[in-house]
Structure 1
Amino acid sequence: MTSTLRTGNTDSERGRPTAQVDTAETGQGGLRRDTGAGTWRAGIRRVIRVGSRPGPWKRGLVLAALALLLGLFMLLHAKIPNRIGNLGSLAETLLPWLGLFIPVLLAGALWRRSASAVVALLLPVMVWLNLFGGLLGDKSHPGGDLTVASHNVGAGNLDPVGTARDLAASGADLLALEEVTPQAKPLYEEGLAKAYPYHTVRGTVGLWSKLPLSDTRPVDIKLNFGQLAGTKSADFKTDSTRALRTTAATDQGPLAVYVAHLGSARVNARAGFWTDSRDRSAQALGKAIAAEQNERVVLLGDLNGTTDDRAFADITSQLRSAHDAAGDGFGFSWPAKFPVVRIDQILVRGVEPESSWSLPATGSDHLPVAAGISW
């Protein structure tokens, strides 16, 4: 302990100097050290800081709110209006992919150690599993009386001969093709003739069959014919027939078969999710199926949309998806290089789907899809 004497000013009244003594602990180099009061104050500050930190239920409230909004968005997707840019249909088209936000939000909740965010994530998890959990497993069954397949062969397909060869090797009893250009039609007819003795083509859609066909006619689905993406042939652009109906004679009786290629759907800044042509053609096709007298019906084709999209309510209210009933996984079919949506569909009525799968890629930008059905 050292004492420091400091001389102040002279006291004018007493006539002697004043002294002030400060006592402190000094360390090496003469630096002043706290005697304990500073340490005590620092401890108090630390306690206050710890006590003022939000608990696990108060942390990550923004993440919790985002999780709840995600769950409500998926739960109420049918309530999203289509008035602005067909936002509802766009959301329903991409609905399965909204599940990718769940692990992102979970990582944020764990990083923030937020119990409220983790609990809030239960809503989107439960909603997503309710919507798509059934697609995660394999629901296929062995067997089936008939194998049907559908493929948008692509107007820009540079190898129609190879595509025909691959499709013939699939073993399908009924094979529907869409986007058959006038130039490629003879190549498909020649390449499939050996495997399929019966076939019919109307406009840009056709059906190749191992079973006799009858009562074939075009179906008017009222398309905007200038909207077909990827078309290079002027004749193909102006061909008005994009759907047909025929009857296949099976051992169990007649089977009504529809082949359709609905209008295109596009996303752009001006119109948003543009589906006017597709939606009109879906309504027209739904009316044609409603008028069908045969109890057993199969619809094969490129619908340019998923069955979750409300635009297909007139069709899905009468037919069910073979893949939803008997598929393995999501069965995405487009684009072929990295499929993100299933727009190529096999829908049935009066027959039982036993299995559903995608075939290997061809020269098209779509994957072929197939299903096994039984009576």
Structure 2
Amino acid sequence: MGQLIKLNNQTKDFNFYINSLQKLCEKDLSLVNSIILEKLDSNVPLIQKIASHLILSGGKRLRPLLTSCCYQMCIENNKNEDKHLGLAAAVEFIHAATLLHDDVVDESKTRRGSLSANELWGNKTSVLVGDFLFSRAFQLMAKYGNIQILKLLSDTSVIISEGEILELSNDKNPTINEDVYFEVINGKTASLFSAACQVGAITAKTTQEKIDAIKSFGTNFGMSFQLIDDAIDYYSSSNILGKNVGDDFKQGKITLPLILAYLRSNSSEKKFWKKTIENLHQDKHDLTKAINIIKKYNCIDDTLERAKHFANIAIDSLGIFENNKYKEILINIINSGLTRLS
């Protein structure tokens, strides 16, 4: 089991360490943002308007930050180049494209506290702008990458799509098992976390052993991150996650707390889940009842335990790297991420 490093100050939460990572990678992040702004330009004004609405709406830039941090952790002899910056922008464009497509599939009305692009401009336009962002990502990959990186990011795009379709094929089905759920979140979330980290390591021209370690780190960090996100929906307040408690429930979205609750429910409770999730017939007090059933069977605690498992693997993966400020911040982000339910 990985050794969780104690935080220096328990009041230093996930956002504190994300802000610290942004400061640590400030120069890289500024250059990445410049590339993003440049590539948002289009001869079709509506494309730029919609893409900017999402990409400039205040996201953490977590994936580009992972690329930058992993690059800096792996680089030797201070041989700084800038290829990782263009590729970090490509990763962010891939992420933004998937968000646009996700909001159409989920019929989401909000994103990051504002109206979603599909709510403002319609589904057709949102899908096409998502395609535009994917295309921009591949332009950046062709300019700054090599065959290894092109294969990595194109393979990752396939995995993301497979995760989306797997989730859709099990839409509003509370009877799916945990393995299917893990396959979904690996595809939708962990695969891009992992790719973002690997891009940094590959462009730093480090050893294959370290690239493999970074791959494991990114995958397991992504799994832990998504598990916590899913638990927050039934546990915490909207100011932590940027969405309202119960959004997943109201959409009939299948996440681990709900899967565990269904498996552990009695026959009467199973009928409740069928009504509210599978048939999406929800009454005023159904969210409260859902949360009470989830608490009754300790589904949040057990989701957190699984998140800790993946977090431990991620931390162990960094064991081959020398201790430095980049490794330290990554470990602190993982540790503090587990406390987002507090």
Length-normalised TM-score, structure 2: 0.30
Answer 1 or 2: which has greater strand percent: 1
- Name which one, 1 or 2, has greater alpha-carbon Rg: 1
Answer 1 or 2: which has greater helix percent: 2
Length-normalised TM-score, structure 1: 0.28
RCO higher in structure (CA 8 A, sep ≥6): 2
